[in-house]
Amino acid sequence: MLVKETGLKGCFVIEPKVFGDSRGSFFEVFNQKIFTEKTGLKVDFVQDNQSISQRGVLRGLHLQTGEFAQAKLVRVIKGKVLDVAVDVRKGSPTFGKHFSIELTGENNKQLFVPRGFLHGFATLEDNTIFSYKCDNYYNPNAEAGVIYNDKELDVDWKIDLDKVTLSEKDKKLNTFTEFLQVI
């Protein structure tokens, strides 16, 4: 398992070693021992989530606040997304900066998103299956977020934003400036 830190402290890209033969392929999705050795972090995942989305669906940018903050390990089982993490840890040298990566069912890359980061993704292919592990349980009262098209964050989602599909909740998210006043 190859683990590389992104330009955002504590945010890592994980590339598993894939073993293939005439039967197909096998890879270890996550190994706590190797992850801890390479990052210095110990994460205990307690909840797994999965979504299926069509091309043009955008989910995010979300996070859980306070005692319900979550670290996530995200990956694509089938299809393709542009995955985005935004550092909103006050005092962080990369505060307000974002990292994006294409995660696909083909490349098997994963992104570890630490607590204190907004997270979201745009679906780049139909019938994309997105999976993520969380180190804390979801609490709807602790949810916060930033609107996907915030001018200050200026994320290039790699999709036509005039045709984006959003949940009603995501259409009403705060701007980054508004978000900073409520967290």
Q: What does each of the 183 residues of the chain score in pLDDT, given as a tens digit? A: 899 999 999 999 999 999 999 999 899 999 999 999 999 999 999 999 999 999 999 999 999 999 999 999 999 999 999 999 999 999 999 999 999 999 999 999 999 999 999 999 999 999 999 999 999 999 999 999 999 999 999 999 999 999 999 999 999 999 999 999 988
Instruction: List, for residues 84-111, the tens digit of each pLDDT value.
Output: 999 999 999 999 999 999 999 999 999 9
- Break the chain into its structural domains and give their ranges: 2-182
pTM above 0.75, yes or no: yes
Which residues form the catalytic set?
62, 132
Residue-wise over 132-150: b if at least 16 C-beta within 10 A, else e? bbbbbeeeeebebbbbbeb
Pick the CATH number of 2-182 from 2.60.120.10, 1.20.20.10, 1.10.1370.40, 3.20.80.10: 2.60.120.10
